[in-house]
Structure formats: C-alpha cells, structure tokens
Chain A
Amino acid sequence: MAGKAFQMTKSERAFDIFLYVFLTLVMIVTLYPFLNVLAISLNESTDTVRGGIYIWPRAFTLENYERIFSYTGLIQGFKISLLRTISGTLLGLISASMLAFTLSRPEFRARKFVSVFLALTMYFSGGMVPMYILMRDMNLIGTFWIYILPGAVSAFNVFIIRSFMDGLPFALQESAKLDGANDFKIFYKIILPLCKPVLATIALFLAVGQWNEWFTTYLYNGNKAHLTTLQYELMKVLATTNQGSGMVNANDMAQQMAQISPESIKMAITIVVTVPILVVYPFLQKYFVGGMTLGAVKA
C-alpha cells in the first residue's frame, strides 16, 4: 500500500517535469519568431546579410526605423489603417449592440424573424465573385467605405452580446419602463453601461479584424495610393522575397523601393505593423477570455 502510493507520487513528479518542460518549449516556439524579427529589425542592414542573427542584434541600430518612417506609403497606410480600425469598430459595436438589445426583448414581435434572418448568414455566403460584382454595382470599389460597410453587421457578435444581455436582471428594464423610459433610453442608459465587459471583447475582435485585414485592399483598392492600408504596404514589401506571391497591383514606386529594401527594413516594417495590437491585447485578456467563454459554456 505504502509502496504503491510512493510510486504514484514518483510518476506524478515525472509528469510534472514533462509538463513544465513541454509547455516551456511551446512558449519558446511561440515567441522565438517575434524575437527574431525584432532582433533583425534592430540590426544594421548591411550586417544582417552575414546571417546568424537569432534573438539579439549584433550591430545595434535604430537606422532601419528612421528609414521606414521617411517612406510616405507607410505613413499613409498607417493613417488609413487607423481610420478604418476606429470607424469599423465603432460601427460594428453600434450595430451589434442595438440588434442584440432588440433580440433580448422578449416582447419584440419581429424577434424570431430577425434572429433567424441573422443566424442564416453564419451558414452560407454568396462567395467572393458575387460579392465583387455587388461592390462594383454599388460603386464602392476605390472608396474608403468598402473597408467598413460590407462587414458592419456580424451575426456572431450580435449573438455573443445578446447572450450576455440575457444574463442581466430583467427587473432593471421593467422598473425603467414603469418610470416611462422608452426602449432606446433603456438601451443606452441602463443596458449598455452594464455590457462593458462584452463590448470590450467585441471591440477587440472588431479592431483586430480591421487592423489585420489586407484582402479588401488587395482586391479593390490596390491601385489607389491614398487608400492602401498598412498590411498591404507590408505585403508589397515582403512580396519581394516571397517570389511575387501573386501580386498584380504592385508595379508602382513602393514596389521598386521594396525591391532594394534589405531584410532589416522588412523586419522593421513587420514590427511597426504588429506592435499596436500586441501592446493592447494582454490588457484585454480577461475580457476576451470571458467573451469566448460566454459562447462555450452554453454550447
């Protein structure tokens, strides 16, 4: 009996060691590429060619960053990316929270219809080509609006917020109603302030989606120099090593500039594109974990 207990703790300990070693390895594999990119971006570009830079720069310099910030395409891209992230997130929050609120009102007569109407969009989509034709027919190609209008209402986000609202005490709304408040007032005075955690989650989803999106620019706005986004600019620069990954719109000045840009410059741009989101996400962690959980446990 005693022997058996001893054996168990021994195997338990072995399991513990395995667990820590394995998960440490996972962390290293996750983090290494980022550290590598950072190190190369801080290394003198002529020195980088010699290779052998892993997680620490050999010849430290900030010159790469100075050079990329003098590149107007990047500044331009940063502005558009910021603008679409802010406006797209706001629009997405407004639409999702309003729809969620109407769906959380049990007496709303069109509730079932709206609910099914939205849910269906999660299962089918017209596909890339019909969407392209629609955008063309609506004259949205070559405009800023194409970044924020088509995806402004997301059924997924509506249902997450709705399920959070369902968890709020209903008595609050009832008493406000007795006081003569209309539905819109109940929405923004009572319900919205209580929804801060789930709104933070959705805001993060929307912002990340907007900031990281590149295909819309590639397909619709690639030849509009004043509308390209940061991701697209990075893509053009990176494409010069990736043996032209299907880039068709990139025969402009930026492309030529990219052709001569060495490894370190590319990595510096990668850092600039990545950092804004990486700075934010650890602080929002408890919110998005909560938001994801909201779906999981019910399922």
Chain B
Amino acid sequence: MIVKALTENGVTANESVTPHPPAKRKRSGFWSSVLQQKYLYLMSLPFVIWVFIFSYVPVWGWLMAFQKYKPAKSFSEQEWVGLANFKELFQDERFYLVLRNTLAMSILGLIVGFVVPILFAVLLNELRGSIFKRTVQTVSYLPHFVSWVVVGGIVYKTLSIDGGIVNDLLIWMNVIDEPIQFMAQGKYFWGVVTAADIWKETGWNAIIYLAAITGIDKELYEAAKVDGAGRIKQMFNITLPGIRSTIMVLLIMNIGHLIGIGFEKQFQLQNNLVTDYSEVLDLYALKYGIQISRFSYGTAISMFTSVVSVILLFTANGVMKKLTKESIM
C-alpha cells in the first residue's frame, strides 16, 4: 500500500547516494554496458518477462470486451462487436444493484476500517512499553493470519441463532427476546462484513500508525506536559497531527481500492438468502462471466472495475495534493 511512496523516495535517495559520477560510463556504448552489467540483467530480465506475462498480458485481454469471444476460435477469428457488451452491462439492472453493494461496503469499510485502527494505535500508544501493551498487540495481530474461509466459519458460528455468543449475550442483557437471524437477512449483511473486517484487520492495520507514532519527537510531549496538557489533550494535539501524513497516504491508497474491494469476505459470508446485498462486482464477473462462459461480458465487468479504480486513485491523489500537499505519486 505505502510502497509507492517508497519507490519514489528510493529512486531519488539512491541518486544522491551514488558516489561516482556515471558521466564516463554513459558515453560508452549500450552493448558494452549491458555486457558489463550482465549479471544485473540476468537477475532482473527473467522476472520482468514474468511480470509482463502475468500482469500485462491480461490487460491486453481487455480487447475481448469488444468482441463476442468464442473459446474455440483463435484471436483473429473472433467477431468484433464494438461496445455491445458494455451496453448490455449498463442496461442490466443487476449491475446497478451490484455496484450499489460494492460502493456501500467499500465506503463503510473505508470510514470504519480507517478510523478504528488509528484510534486503536493511539490508545495502545498510551500504554508505554508495558507487558500488557505487548500482549494486546500480539493478540490483535492474530486474526490477520487466518483465512477468510476460517473467519467465515467463525462469523457464522458467532452470529448463529442457536448458541451464537452474540445472540446469547443480547438475550441475557434483555436487549432482545428472540435471537436475530443475522446471516439470513440482507439488511444485516453490510454491517456483518464491515464488523468481520474490523475484527480481522484492526490490529494489523494499526502497525503502520504505531510505527509512525514512534517517529514523533518526544520533546513535544514534554513541552505539552509543562504547559499542563493532559494525556487526552496530547493525543489530539500531538499524536494525531504527528501521524497526519501517514494517515493521508493510506487514505489515498484506500480510495484507490474503493471499487476493487475484493470479494473474499463477501464470498465466504454470503448465502442464497442475501445475494441482493452480498454480490459485489468481482462476484458478478465470476457468476455472469466465468461460470456460464460469457467471457466477453465478464471481461467488460473486469475492465470497468479496473479503469474506475485507477481513475479514483488518481482523483484522490490529485485532490489530496491540492488540499494537503500529501501525495503518493
């Protein structure tokens, strides 16, 4: 996520580190420099080709979205249909339902999934260097390491109507009289997905913020203490502003992922009763593209998702750059 900033910094940092001016070498021919750096080429070229095949060739496959692709024929024999697949896509009512689900879950995830880890990191930071802090931290990473298959099973178990702890607790506290069917009603699905995501990733996502907090100048806290600021005041006036740029960079990255939120959690948590709320773009592509072999239609969906993601990312980056001078590229 944060790596883009890394590459930029890396390139420039390296340039200034280089001790020898490469002016002389530049004058020598291209091939002699290749020969001289043959090991570097040998170590990178195979993987560059690899990346080309598995990351760039699929983009070339987008051409299929403008064809009526038949698996048995070769590429040149395919029938070109222009924008027919996109027309069909934008006329399908199901598509708008799926788009609504995707945006609803990603915006919920963006707001909640963004604020909670920051709060968690800031609170955790208040326990300076204790064993308790380390225990909480270790425990908080744990769910990150289990698969969505397992989390799906756990969520079904926890929210079940017979013996699920959530319903048991709510009944015990007299909040409800009858157990709620969380997994069988569409209106709960977005909330369940968001909550499951929070449970799984909060501790992990907080790592970055905790690291950023360590970088804040300790003298600022000392000065605040002398001025009589309490810890809560320090949290809001020093800690949060101190990690502002980290927050901004991650926010931009998350906005870029708004539409390509993935489908693992939706896939593992969905069931036939809630598909009107659980189906997201990738699942739609899977169901109406691959599983019934309408590859061109599926490609149009994939292409739509990818293009909108990139547009969102650049827009977010541009707006943030204007507003806050923070950017990732």
Q: Which of A56-64, A66-74, A235-243, A251-259 contacts B (4 or more CB under 8 A)?
A: A235-243
Would you give the shortest CB distance from B227 to chain A, in whole angstroms?
12
> Given contacts A241-B156, A295-B6, A299-B246, are A101 and B207 in contact (CB under 8 A)?
no
Given A107, A155, A182, which contacts B22 in the complex, CB threshold below 8 Å?
A107
Would you give the shortest CB distance from A11 to chain B, in whole angstroms?
6
Would you give the shortest CB distance from B253 to chain A, in whole angstroms?
9
Are A166 and B14 within 8 A (Cβ)? yes
| Residues of A within 8 A of B (CB-CB), count | 112
Are A23 and B127 within 8 A (Cβ)? yes
Are B138 and A282 within 8 A (Cβ)? yes
> Given contacts A104-B14, A129-B285, A274-B146, are A238 and B139 in contact (CB under 8 A)?
no
Are B39 and A124 within 8 A (Cβ)? no
Give the docked Cα–Cα distance between A29 and B168 (Å): 15
Would you give the shortest CB distance from A222 to chain B, in whole angstroms?
12
Are B57 and A134 within 8 A (Cβ)? yes
Are B149 and A99 within 8 A (Cβ)? no
Are A278 and B64 within 8 A (Cβ)? no
Q: Does B324 contact A (CB under 8 A)?
A: no
Closest B residue to A154 by CB, please name it.
Answer: B51
Give the docked Cα–Cα distance between A121 and B212 (Å): 26
Give the docked Cα–Cα distance between A216 and B58 (Å): 16
Majority SS at the chain A contact face = helix
The 8 A CB mask of A213-249 against B (1 = contact, 0 = none) is: 1110001000000000001001100100111111010
Are B54 and A295 within 8 A (Cβ)? no
Given B7, B47, B136, B298, which contacts A27 in the complex, CB threshold below 8 Å?
B136
Chain B contacts of A31 at CB under 8 A? Answer: 139, 142
Chain A contacts of B92 at CB under 8 A? Answer: none
Are A109 and B140 within 8 A (Cβ)? no
Are B149 and A108 within 8 A (Cβ)? no
Chain A contacts of B289 at CB under 8 A? Answer: 128-129
Are B136 and A26 within 8 A (Cβ)? yes
Are B54 and A150 within 8 A (Cβ)? yes
The 8 A CB mask of B216-236 against A (1 = contact, 0 = none) is: 000000000000101110000
Given B3, B40, B163, which contacts A155 in the complex, CB threshold below 8 Å?
B3
Q: Does B175 contact A (CB under 8 A)?
A: no
Give the docked Cα–Cα distance between A104 and B142 (Å): 33
Would you give the shortest CB distance from B13 to chain A, in whole angstroms?
6
Are A128 and B313 within 8 A (Cβ)? no
Q: Does A163 contact B (CB under 8 A)?
A: yes
The 8 A CB mask of A271-292 against B (1 = contact, 0 = none) is: 0011001100110010011001
Q: Which of B94-102, B105-113, B185-193, B304-312 contacts A (4 or more CB under 8 A)?
A: B304-312
Residue of A37, A54, A123 contacting most chain B CB atoms (<10 Å) = A123
Residues in A52-96 with C-beta less than 8 Å from chain B: 52-54, 95
Q: Does A159 contact B (CB under 8 A)?
A: yes
Chain A contacts of B3 at CB under 8 A? Answer: 122, 155-156, 159-160, 295
Given A98, A110, A299, which contacts B6 in the complex, CB threshold below 8 Å?
A299
Are A125 and B37 within 8 A (Cβ)? no
Q: Does B147 contact A (CB under 8 A)?
A: yes
Are A243 and B10 within 8 A (Cβ)? no
Given A37, A160, A234, A288, which contacts B149 in the complex, CB threshold below 8 Å?
A234
Are B215 and A297 within 8 A (Cβ)? yes
Chain B contacts of A298 at CB under 8 A? Answer: 2, 5-6, 9
Chain B contacts of A282 at CB under 8 A? Answer: 138
Are A297 and B211 within 8 A (Cβ)? yes
Would you give the shortest CB distance from A19 to chain B, in whole angstroms?
6
Identify the B interface with A (CB < 8 A).
1-7, 9-11, 13-15, 17-20, 22, 25, 33-34, 37, 39-44, 47-48, 50-51, 53-62, 64, 71, 120, 123-124, 126-127, 132, 135-136, 138-143, 145-150, 152-154, 156-158, 162-163, 165, 183, 199, 203, 207-209, 211-212, 215, 228, 230-232, 245-246, 249, 256, 260, 264, 267-273, 282-283, 285-287, 289-291, 295, 298-299, 301-303, 305-306, 309-310, 313
| 23 A-B contacts (beta carbon < 8 Å) | A4-B228, A27-B135, A27-B136, A117-B48, A122-B3, A124-B310, A125-B260, A127-B299, A127-B305, A128-B298, A136-B71, A150-B54, A153-B50, A160-B6, A183-B39, A211-B147, A234-B150, A238-B156, A241-B156, A248-B291, A273-B150, A285-B141, A298-B2
Other A-B pairs, 15, CB within 8 Å; known A30-B143, A121-B56, A242-B271: A27-B136, A106-B15, A123-B313, A125-B260, A127-B306, A128-B285, A131-B58, A133-B299, A183-B40, A215-B267, A231-B149, A235-B268, A273-B150, A282-B138, A296-B246
